[in-house]
């Protein structure tokens, strides 16, 4: 029980530090780039477009649907409220679901894993986009850093499973 409390406190400190960092990084020019980018994550739109560009849209659709189902189930049990951080106002509108885990991060990681199997030479691009999507959710004030990290981890697992373990090779 003591270890659980220590872990929760460590996560809370990490989340607070991440939100504070996001607030310090905010600049009008950066927000003008990050807000539209994070919105491209709605319904996996960014990944659907990329999947179409590399002729893998069917696989990406299946991975995105699976990821949404899994993250929504976890959200129903976790019920973590969205960040209410005075120094970090929300840059996008009301979110209909709870915070943990980040569905955008999970979908991005799962799609990046899948795309890297089909186009391994573009792995740095896929990973950069997935990490940027996860970070954007913290930047716009709708997720804690631990929500984004958990979403990335879930997405990596789901993407690897969806690709039949090929992503590990």
Return the C-alpha torsion angle 12, 96, 67, 139, nearest 10. -50
Report the CATH superfamily, name and number, of domain 2-168.
Answer: Phosphatidic acid phosphatase type 2/haloperoxidase (1.20.144.10)
Q: Per residue of the chain (169 residues), what is the pLDDT tens digit?
A: 668 888 889 999 999 999 999 989 999 999 999 999 999 999 899 999 999 999 998 999 999 999 999 999 999 999 888 886 555 677 777 677 888 999 999 999 999 999 999 999 999 999 999 999 999 999 999 999 999 999 999 999 999 998 886 545 4
Total count of residues recorded for the chain: 169
Q: Is 19 helix (H, G, I), strand (E, B) or coil?
A: helix
DSSP 141: T
> Are the beta carbons of 154 and 70 closer than 8 angstroms?
yes
Predicted TM-score (pTM) of the model is: 0.91
CA nearest 147: which of 96, 84, 101, 86? Answer: 101
Q: 81 phi and psi, to 5 degrees?
A: -70, 155
């Amino acid at each position: 029980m003591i270890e659980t409390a220590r872990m929760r406190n460590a996560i809370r400190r990490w989340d607070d530090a991440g939100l504070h960092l996001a607030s310090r990084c905010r600049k009008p020019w950066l927000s003008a780039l990050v807000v539209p980018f994070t919105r491209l994550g709605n319904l996996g739109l960014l990944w659907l477009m990329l999947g179409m560009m590399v002729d893998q849209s069917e696989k990406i659709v299946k991975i995105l649907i699976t990821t949404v189902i899994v993250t929504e189930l976890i959200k129903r049990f976790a019920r973590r409220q969205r960040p209410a951080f005075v120094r970090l106002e929300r840059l996008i509108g009301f979110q209909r679901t709870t915070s943990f885990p980040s569905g955008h991060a999970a979908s991005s990681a799962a799609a990046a894993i899948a795309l890297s199997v089909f186009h391994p030479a573009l792995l740095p691009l896929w990973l950069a986009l997935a990490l940027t999507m996860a970070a954007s959710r913290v930047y716009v004030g709708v997720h804690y850093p631990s929500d984004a990290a958990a979403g990335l981890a879930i997405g990596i697992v789901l993407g690897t499973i969806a690709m039949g373990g090929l992503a590990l090779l």
